[in-house]
Amino acid sequence: MSVQDNFKARLSDFLVASSPISGTTWLKALVFALLNRNLENPKSNHVMFASNPHEYVPFLEIQLYVKNRIPNLDVMPSPRLLATHIPYSSLLESAKDSGCRIVYISRDIKDVFVSLWHFVNAISLKGAFESYCDGVSVYGPIWDHQLGYLKASMARPQCVTFLRYEEMMEDPVSEVKRLAEFLGCPFSEDEEKGGRVEEIVKVCSFDSLKDLEVKRVGELQLSRMKRKNQLFFRRGVVGDSKRWLTPEMIGRLDGLTESMIGAFGSLTP
H/E stretch holding 221 = strand 219-222
Whole-Å CA distances, 125 to 108, 122, 130, 232 = 18, 9, 9, 19
3-state secondary structure 228-246: EHHHHCCCCCCCHHHHCCC
User: Under 8 Å CB-to-CB from 263, ≥6 apart: which residues?
Assistant: none
User: Tens-of-pLDDT digits for all 269 residues of the chain?
Assistant: 889 889 999 999 999 999 998 999 899 999 999 998 876 444 444 555 666 788 889 999 988 998 778 999 999 989 999 999 999 999 989 999 999 999 999 999 999 999 888 777 767 899 999 999 999 888 999 999 999 999 999 999 999 999 999 999 999 999 999 999 999 999 999 999 999 999 999 988 877 776 665 556 666 666 666 656 555 556 667 888 898 899 999 999 999 998 887 666 555 54
Q: The whole model's pTM is what?
A: 0.88
Q: Residues with catalytic annotation?
A: 85
Domain assignment present for 11: yes
Domain assignment present for 55: yes
Domain assignment present for 118: no
Domain assignment present for 122: no
- In order, the DSSP letters of 165-218 are HHHHHH-HHHHHHHHHHHHT-PPPHHHHHTTHHHHHHHHTSHHHHHTSHHHHS-
Our count of domains for the chain comes to 1
pLDDT score at 52: 76
The CATH number that applies at residue 38 is 3.40.50.300
Domain assignment present for 100: yes
pLDDT score at 43: 45
Domain assignment present for 115: no
Say if CB 160 and CB 153 are below 8 A apart: yes
Tell me which residue range forms the domain holding 182. 2-109+141-236
Domain assignment present for 123: no
pLDDT score at 105: 97
Domain assignment present for 120: no
pLDDT score at 238: 84
